[in-house]
Copies of this chain bind each other. A is one copy, B any other.
Amino acid sequence: MQRAAPQEFDRVLSSMCTEPHPAAREAAERFLATNPGDPATYTEIARLEARVVTELGRLAGLDVPPQSAPPEGASDPDDSQTVDRGPDESESLGGRAVGVDSEGVRDAGAEPHGYVTSGGTEANIQAVRSARERCAVAEPNVVVPESAHFSFTKAADLLNVELRSVPTDADHRADLDGVAAAVDEETVLVVGVAGSTEYGRVDPIPELAAIAHDEGAYCHVDAAWGGFLLPFTDHAWNFAHAGIDSLTIDPHKCGRAAIPAGGLLFRDPEGMDALAVDTPYLESTSQASLTGTRSGAGVASAAAAIEELWPDGYRREYERTDRLAGWLADELRSRDYDVPAVELPIVVADVAPGTFEALRDRGWRLSRTGSGLARIVVMPHVTENGLRSFLADLDDVR
């Protein structure tokens, strides 16, 4: 085979994945030949997975009792997202090995409430599946804002569930009245997005959870991309801020783990239990993951990245990319592009199709929103120099 060269990241503005942190890469390489899907054979990686789940739970507020009511006025995006759940700087990776006994074999009685998935798509599919299993209704439906990731289309298709996609408000967030109108007694799940794929928007999560629970449905938050950024904002997005039931948070996106390392968390063990199937010829008794054999590289690299970066490293990276995105938005506006307010580090601009193609021809990896706007995701590999070079090319071709 001709020796193929992997992707360089210097012109990648389209991806929600990034270069793994060096510690994550090293761990991935070390655990390349392990399978957390077979925990009785591969005991060490099973232990690491339990640690990752514990740490993801901590990031997502699972060690704090839920609030009984949503924070006052949290649906107003301008001034009311007052819940400060920034991490305590003194927190570090604990040794709490949830659900793994001394042999590294999961004890069915103390299963961690989540697992490391192949990515956000698997996590979202499994959240829908768990809700469908736990709500025994004849014709289940799932209500999502139209900003939800296309993995929910996959989930609905797979699971024979009706997908009710509700138009978003003028600022691309879930419209609460629209969602409330779409929900009925056959609704098994209401989805909120915390860091949407196109605009980086955070939906009013506490209100969505309240709407879901009023109808006896579950509430899931997709923080696949936003989950490692939001702890450093004052958004209300996680288990501690709202009565949500499950959450997607992907180490292989802003968590800087190697692919594949997604994350799915449930508040209650019943969420995972609903996914379990029996596993003859594995010495563990059941398996809740969608896939069978799974990547130990992803799990180990997630553990290493979180150990290395939580919380200060992630905070620094959030602050850097947040500043950079704001700067890029200003630069584009100064060139008369229409650029919506930046909430999390994604910048959207109305770049004309010819300009877009000319930039792609120069090697820039750009992508478009469903409505054709150019979209730039300011990930850890994106630098100010890179963006200056991008702007110079933009000035050149437009």
* Residues of A that sit less than 8 Å from B by CB: 1, 4-7, 9, 12, 14-20, 25, 28-35, 37-38, 40-45, 47-48, 93, 118-122, 125, 129, 149-151, 153-154, 157-160, 197-198, 250, 252, 258-260, 262, 277-283, 287, 290-298, 300, 303-304, 307, 360, 365-370, 375
Q: How far is the CA of A29 from the CA of B25 in the complex (A)?
A: 8
Contacting residues, chain B, for A287 (C-beta < 8 A): 150
Contact A41 B15 (CB under 8 A): yes
Across the interface, A153 reaches (CB within 8 A) one of B25, B149, B150, B278, namely B278
Contacting residues, chain B, for A45 (C-beta < 8 A): 6-7
Contact A7 B41 (CB under 8 A): yes
Contact A157 B41 (CB under 8 A): no
Across the interface, A19 reaches (CB within 8 A) one of B12, B33, B250, namely B33
Also in contact, A293 and B370, with CB within 8 A (given A20-B32, A35-B15): no
Closest to A308 in B: B1
Closest to A95 in B: B2
Closest to A361 in B: B103
Q: How far is the CA of A38 from the CA of B277 in the complex (A)?
A: 31
Give 28 A-B contacts (CB < 8 Å), ordered by A residue.
A4-B31, A4-B44, A7-B41, A14-B41, A15-B41, A15-B42, A28-B297, A32-B258, A32-B297, A34-B259, A41-B367, A119-B294, A121-B290, A121-B293, A122-B291, A125-B290, A150-B279, A150-B280, A154-B277, A154-B290, A158-B158, A160-B160, A259-B293, A259-B294, A259-B296, A259-B297, A260-B260, A281-B367
Tallying the copies of this chain within the complex gives: 2
Contact B370 A280 (CB under 8 A): yes
Q: How far is the CA of A261 from the CA of B262 in the complex (A)?
A: 17
Give the distance to chain B from A125, nearest Cβ to Cβ, in Å: 8
Also in contact, A292 and B17, with CB within 8 A (given A7-B45, A34-B7): no
Also in contact, A12 and B34, with CB within 8 A (given A48-B4, A297-B259): no
Contacting residues, chain B, for A250 (C-beta < 8 A): 293
Contacting residues, chain B, for A283 (C-beta < 8 A): 14, 360, 366-368
Contacting residues, chain B, for A367 (C-beta < 8 A): 40-41, 281-283
Give the distance to chain B from A177, nearest Cβ to Cβ, in Å: 24
Contact A295 B295 (CB under 8 A): yes
Closest to A373 in B: B281
Q: How far is the CA of A296 from the CA of B6 in the complex (A)?
A: 9
Q: How far is the CA of A5 from the CA of B121 in the complex (A)?
A: 30
Closest to A365 in B: B41
Contact A365 B1 (CB under 8 A): no
Contact B20 A277 (CB under 8 A): no
Contact B259 A33 (CB under 8 A): yes
Q: How far is the CA of A280 from the CA of B41 in the complex (A)?
A: 40
Give the distance to chain B from A172, nearest Cβ to Cβ, in Å: 13
Across the interface, A292 reaches (CB within 8 A) one of B6, B120, B304, B368, namely B120
Contact B293 A17 (CB under 8 A): yes
Residue of A18, A260, A287 with most chain B CB atoms under a 10 A cut-off: A260
Contacting residues, chain B, for A28 (C-beta < 8 A): 32, 297
Give the distance to chain B from A192, nearest Cβ to Cβ, in Å: 19
Contacting residues, chain B, for A5 (C-beta < 8 A): 44
Contacting residues, chain B, for A262 (C-beta < 8 A): 293
Residue of A33, A280, A296 with most chain B CB atoms under a 10 A cut-off: A33
Closest to A103 in B: B360
Q: How far is the CA of A43 from the CA of B15 in the complex (A)?
A: 13
Also in contact, A158 and B157, with CB within 8 A (given A260-B260, A278-B150, A370-B281): no
Across the interface, A33 reaches (CB within 8 A) one of B16, B153, B258, B277, namely B258
Also in contact, A150 and B277, with CB within 8 A (given A259-B35, A296-B6): yes
Contact B150 A7 (CB under 8 A): no
Closest to A259 in B: B295
